[in-house]
Structure 1
Amino acid sequence: MDDLDGAAMASLGSVAVVADDQEFWRTGIASMLKRQLHFSKVVHAVSFDQLIDALQSDPPPSLATVELSLPGMQSYVGVRQLRGQFPSVRLIVISATADRETILQSLAAGTHGFIPKRFQGSEILAAMKLIQQGQVFVPPDLPDIPEGCESEQDEAPFLSSAGSALTRRQRDVIQLLAEGKSNKEIASILQITEGTVKVHVNAAFRALGVHNRVSAVVALNPKQIN
């Protein structure tokens, strides 16, 4: 216990929920949350109704992982409902359904990260740790990102002046916004698609706790404002 970092210490004594109708995934993710992320209690749910009940428990959970195919979930429609009903819960989608449209729609609905089940266990754990540190995790192999355009170095975390963790790519996008570049221009400069630009913009907004481009630029570069 002596070697716990700040993020792990922050999770001590907290409650998480794992919602998945497959026992293999529930037990595996629950083990990560307890052993590596140090949650004191993990509640299991096998349906959307059980997930709602678990999120209403006392003490209230601070994090929930959900499978989009959970009975009653209705994919990212359920994500929108959860974000509206439980705005303080950090919501992570860990799903076998991980096509481009599903990932983009889930992120747009307000999830704090989308982790495909095709990831290795170590990759899932690393993604959950980044989310715990305040980042919004976007799969680096999102289908519309050209191969080689976003390396691991691009996705290294950056701590902004506002104290919110961003990936290097998210910072690049916001900096280009500050220069007055359009999404189309940013896509051309960074060699990604406009859809990917939007994903990074929305992820950066949530990580910074802002709702528009001007606020995001100010959060990253407060000295630019007279």
Structure 2
Amino acid sequence: MVRIMVVDDHAVVRSGLVLLLDGKHGMQVVGEAADGDEAIRKGEELRPDVVLMDLSMPNGKDGLTATSELKKRLPDTSVLILTMHDDDEYLFRAIKAGASGYLLKSAPHEELLAAIRNIADGNAYLYPTATKKLMGDYLEKLKHGDHSGAYDSLTAREKEIMAKVAQGYSNKEIAELLQISVKTVETHKSNLMEKLGIRTKPDLVKFALKKGLLTYE
């Protein structure tokens, strides 16, 4: 049973969602909230699996602020943004805040149910045109040399090795410092450069400088 909390400042919208979801499709609505502050308070109390979160709520914290706060306090709870805003900026900010999904209120009921099931299983869900927007934005950034998003995909070890490479250490020196084999260093180095879309050491140094990684002991 997927335990759901519905957050929306419109009582009619909340009632409609409760009617659609509660006790059906393997789902149970365990709570409702009319603003971000109430969502955070009830979220900590009820600990739902999924929160359906509106963005625009005039009283208290808005949906983005509430999402960010809930994810800090309840990292195992997934947040699905349910909004009328078909807007790139809101989409990107919602993902940055920690939302697992973004769906328009105009979506069919079947799509809402699918979105809830997806994020309850630990996956992400974006409506189709949102996926295209994200991919387009990502590819555009890579085209212009912005690898910031890809940096977050690096492992802690890859970030560590990238910093050492940028600081001028050889593969052998890095291996000795980290107490791993030269072959392992080479593998990590190859993987991180592929993830970042960086092909040369000078470009790697420039990127490390932007990220503030060129600190020397």
* Band of TM-score, shorter chain: 0.5 to 0.7
Query: What is the rounded CA distance, in whole Å, between the counterparts of 2:50 and 2:63 in structure 1?
Result: 18
The residue aligned with 2:56 is 69
Please tell me the residue identity of whatever aligns with 2:31: V
Does structure 1 conserve the Cα–Cα contact (< 8 Å) formed by 2:80 and 2:101? Answer: yes
Q: Equivalent of 1:142, from 112, 118, 130? A: 130
Residue equivalent to 1:212: 153
- Letter of the structure 1 residue corresponding to residue 70 of structure 2: L
Partner-residue secondary structure (3-state), 2:125: coil
> Per-residue deviation at 1:65?
0.9
Shift, 1:41, TM fit: 4.2
Query: How far apart, CA to CA, are the structure 2 residues paired with 1:32 and 1:87?
Result: 26
Q: Is the 8 A contact 2:40 2:66 kept in 1?
A: no
SS at match of 2:30: strand
Shift of 1:182: 10
C-alpha contact (below 8 Å) 2:7/2:52 kept by paired residues: yes
Task: Give the TM-score normalised by the residue count of structure 1.
Answer: 0.56
Structure 2 residue aligned with 1:184:
142
Q: Which amino acid aligns with 2:52?
A: T
Contact 2:39 2:66 in 1 (8 A): no
Summarize deviations over 1:154-206 as a string: whole Å, max 9, x none. xxxxxxxxxxxxxxxxxxx9xxxxxxx99626x9xxxxxx89xx5xx79xxxx
Q: Is the 8 A contact 1:100 1:143 kept in 2?
A: no
- TM-score using structure 2 length: 0.58
Q: Does 1:78 align with 2:66?
A: yes
The correspondence for 1:53, drawn from 14, 20, 41, is 41
Q: How many residues align?
A: 156
Question: Do the aligned partners of 2:8 and 2:54 also contact (CA within 8 Å) in 1?
Answer: yes
Letter in 1 for 2:153: N
Which of 87, 96, 118 is equivalent to 2:75? 87
1:166-185 residue pairs with structure 2 within 5 A?
184=142
SS in 2 for 1:21: coil
Query: Aligned partners of 2:131 and 2:44: how far apart in 1?
Result: 36
Q: What RMSD over aligned residues (CA atoms) do the two structures have, in Å?
A: 3.7
Amino acid paired to 1:184: L
Which secondary structure state, in structure 1, belongs to the residue aligned with residue 128 of structure 2? coil
The alpha carbon displacement at 1:107 in A equals: 0.7
Instruction: Report sequence identity in percent.
Output: 19
Distance (Å, rounded) in 2 between the aligned partners of 1:80 and 1:39: 24
Kept in 1, the 8 Å contact 2:78–2:100? The answer is yes
Gap change, CA 1:72 and 1:57, over 3 Å in 2:
same
Structure 2 spans left out of the alignment, 5+ residues = 157-186, 189-217
Q: Which runs of 5+ in 1 are unaligned?
A: 1-10, 151-172, 174-180, 188-193, 203-210, 216-223
| Contact 1:33–1:42, Cα closer than 8 Å, also in 2 | no
CA offsets 1:130-161 (integer angstroms, 9 cap, x no match): 22232111221128649xx99xxxxxxxxxxx
CA 1:183/1:45 → structure 2, altered by over 3 Å: closer, same or farther? same
The CA deviation string for residues 22-71 of structure 1, in whole angstroms up to 9 with x for no partner, is 1232123223432444234421111222212211225x322211101123
Paired with 2:51 and 2:28, the residues of 1 have a C-alpha distance of: 14
Task: Provide the C-alpha distance between the structure 1 equivalents of 2:84 and 2:67, rounded to a whole number of angstroms.
Answer: 15
1:21 and 2:9 are equivalent in the alignment: yes
